[in-house]
Chain A
Amino acid sequence: GIQVEQSPPDLILQEGANSTLRCNFSDSVNNLQWFHQNPWGQLINLFYIPSGTKQNGRLSATTVATERYSLLYISSSQTTDSGVYFCAVTTRPNAGKSTFGDGTTLTVKP
């Protein structure tokens, strides 16, 4: 099956800093999502981005499908950005099955 690798596994920032999270995948995908899991376990949708670039406030994401990676940018980080960031992909032959990366744990210190 498809392999999804996220980096870095852990990231510690001071409030106000910028960061880039990466998601590499081993096969062509037809769906890619970025999620933020808060300390209570809720998975919050950040981006649905199988290709191209999107922005939402301080967050933006870029997926280069031909090179099999996606990037999540967080600017001017806040303590509320802390949590685990997951990317999840699906491939056309297994359209209903999402495969998650292991996540990046972000800690933003005041």
Chain B
Amino acid sequence: DTEVTQTPKHLVMGMTNKKSLKCEQHMGHRAMYWYKQKAKKPPELMFVYSYEKLSINESVPSRFSPECPNSSLLNLHLHALQPEDSALYLCASSQTQTGVPYEQYFGPGTRLTVT
């Protein structure tokens, strides 16, 4: 099974709301990732968790707060977002060994609209 699931598929939120995106994998992968993708652009890395610890934060604003409760789950908590944060948010996972990632598998994404 090479499936990564994400919920919700679509999310509309106001600038004062707090919401969370969820990602789950059952492939035994120990690295998980959040990416942001704007229309007609490539995915941009936001965060990497390796063995449930945050290993990379690509200078993401604090209104985005990641959490990795266990090796299968990854959350992205959203608070006080701006309209320019509207995008497709993609989760991915991979095996990793001594910090070297192997093949990444992506979830279907959450389309976020901030009004």
Contact = CB atoms under 8 A, between A and B. Distances in A.
Interface bracket on B:
20 to 34
B40 to A, nearest CB: 8
A30 B31 CA distance: 16
Interface string A76-93: 000000000010101010
A17 interface: no
Contacts, number: 63
Interface stretch (B18-26, B43-51, B61-69, B78-86): B43-51
Interface residues of A, number: 23
Given A96-B56, A100-B42, A33 B103 contact: yes
Interface of A: 30-31, 33, 35, 40-43, 45, 48, 86, 88, 90, 92, 95-103
